[in-house]
Structure 1
Amino acid sequence: MQRMIAPEIATWPETDPHLLGSVCSSCSATVFPVQDLCPRCSRPDMNDVELPRRGTVVAWTTQGFLPGAPYLGDESPKTFTPFGVGLVQLGDIIRVEARLTENDPAKLKFGMDVELTMIPLGTDPEGHEVLTFAFQPVDAQE
C-alpha cells in the first residue's frame, strides 16, 4: 500500500494529481501548502485551490548529501543518491520548492518545462511506501 507523506498537500491518488494551496479572497495571495491565515494581509479569508500541474524551473541545485532528521527516506549515507531540487514557477500563480526527478546537472536547465509527479520516498514503520511530490521534465516532443 502507498500513502502520501502529507495527504493534505495534494489530490493524490487521482490519476493526474494537483498540489493544493490556498488563495486569499481579500488580497489574492496564493500559498502552498494550504493555510488558514493569509501571510500577506493576515486575514482568515483563504480558500483551497488546485495549483497547476505544469511549471517552469526558475532555479535549481542538487542535494549531494543525506538530509538530516526528520527526513523520511530509506537511504543511508552509503546508499544515498543525490537528487535535484528546484524552484518551480506554476503559471503566474506561485513558485514552489520541490524535488526534481532529474539529478544530472548537465540535464537540468533554467526555464525547462516540468510536470508534477509522485515518487517513492521511503517506507513507514507499518511497511507502507511513502510518496512525495516532485517535478519531472516534460518531453520536448509533446
Structure 2
Amino acid sequence: MATKALAPEISTWPDENPQLIGCRCGSCGATAFPVQDHCPRCSSAQMSELLLPRRGTVIAWTTQGFPPGAPYAGPTGKDFVPFGVGLVELGFGEDAVIRVEGRLTENDPAKLKFGQQVELTMIPFTTDADGNEIVTFAFQPV
C-alpha cells in the first residue's frame, strides 16, 4: 500500500514541510491558488509559480456536518466524520499573499476561532480502490 496525494499538483508533498503551490501574475501582481494559466484579475498569461507560506490566520470558518455533493470522493454514511472548513489568509500582516479555503484539522466549533493561527499539514482523506491511503491538505492550529 502506498500513500498518495488527492491532488499532487497543488503542493510540494511529500516534502517534510509541504507548501501549497500557487502563482503570481507578472503584470498586476495578483496571487492565485491553485496555479492558473491566466490571471483571474487582469487575464494576463504572465503567471509564475509561487510557493505559498505554510502559516496563516483563519478569517472565516464553518463545520461540514454531512458529506459534500459530487465530486466529493471521501467517506460517506457511517464512515463520514464532520470536519472544519476554513478560509485561511496565508502569510501575516503585509506579508499575507492569498486566502485559501481548506479543511481544518479541528471540527469542534468551541475550539475554532476567528484570527486563530494555523499551519499547513497533510491528513488522511480516504483509501482508493487499490488500498492506497489518499491524503489531502488541511490547516492545523499552531
Superposition TM-score, scaled by structure 1 size: 0.94
Residue 67 (structure 1) shift: 1.3
Residue 70 (structure 1) shift: 1.7
- How many angstroms apart in 2 are the aligned matches of 1:27 and 1:79? 45
- How many angstroms apart in 1 are the aligned matches of 2:7 and 2:76? 22
**1:133 is matched with which residue?**
137
- How many angstroms apart in 2 are the aligned matches of 1:78 and 1:3? 24
**1:87 is matched with which residue?**
87
Residue 71 (structure 1) shift: 1.2
- How many angstroms apart in 1 are the aligned matches of 2:29 and 2:128? 37
- How many angstroms apart in 1 are the aligned matches of 2:120 and 2:34? 15
- Match of 1:78, SS? helix
Q: Which moved more, 1:125-134 or 1:18-27?
A: 125-134
1:24 aligns with 2:28: no
Root mean square deviation of aligned Cα: 0.8
Deviations, residues 6-60 of structure 1 (Å, cap 9, x unaligned)? 1110000000000000000110000000111111111110000000000000000
Q: Which of 106, 115, 124 is 1:111 aligned to?
A: 115
Residue 120 (structure 1) shift: 0.7
- Match of 2:77, SS? coil
**1:13 is matched with which residue?**
14
Count of matched residue pairs: 137
- Match of 1:106, SS? helix
Structure number with higher helix proportion: 2
> 2:123 corresponds to which letter in structure 1?
I
**2:41 is matched with which residue?**
40
**1:57 is matched with which residue?**
58
Structure 1 spans left out of the alignment, 5+ residues: none
Superposition TM-score, scaled by structure 2 size: 0.94
